[in-house]
Amino acid sequence: MPKGRCVVTKAGWLKGLSLLMGYACVAIGLFHVVLGVASVPGAESAGATVDSRERFYNAIFLGFGLAWIWVARQSPIPASMVRWLSAVFLLGGVGRLFSIAVHGMPHWWQLPLTALELVLPPVYFWLATADERAKRTPAATPEPAGVATRPAPRQDR
């Protein structure tokens, strides 16, 4: 590899994006748990029931973020867990589309969130096996100087 070039592998992208997803979900979940409906644009006037539900679901979202962080810290990163977490995230985006179909357009801020929930899961599905494959592929490492590269003679006697 030429000096000064940084090569990012699919496994590196998987780890970085998984950590980013995890930290973002933890921060968002914590923000919403602390502020309740006051954290939701367009929902500030919702009552105690909606506020309670907002805080509960965002505690779960915080846990979802912790799961992403846990997955990203495994070696290799388990493809099955990446797929499951991505499917849950995708289901959230599908739920938002269903809400739009039933109730109409939400506050504008919900639209970019919906786009992320629909676009990111296919990226994670594509990257899911990258770390497992990278760990299975032996790296071409040269033998240290002075180490024999041929097998030792048989000792059958």
Q: Model confidence over 57-102: pLDDT tens digits?
A: 999 999 999 999 999 999 999 999 999 999 999 999 999 999 999 9
Burial class of residue 5, CB neighbours in 10 A (0-12, 13-18, 19+)? exposed
Q: Which residue has the higher pLDDT, 151 or 103?
A: 103
| Mean pLDDT, the chain, integer | 89
- The dihedral sign for the CA sequence 120, 122, 125, 128: negative
Query: Within 13 Å of residue 55, how many CA atoms lie on the same side as its CB?
Result: 11
Is the full-model pTM beyond 0.85? no
- The total number of residues shown for the chain amounts to 157
> CA geometry: angle at 51 spanning 67 and 92, to 5°?
40
Angle at 61 between CA 58 and CA 63, to 5 degrees: 115
68 backbone dihedrals φ, ψ, rounded to 5°: -60, -40
3-class state of residue 138 by DSSP: coil
Q: How far, in whole angstroms, is CA 38 from its chain's centroid?
A: 27
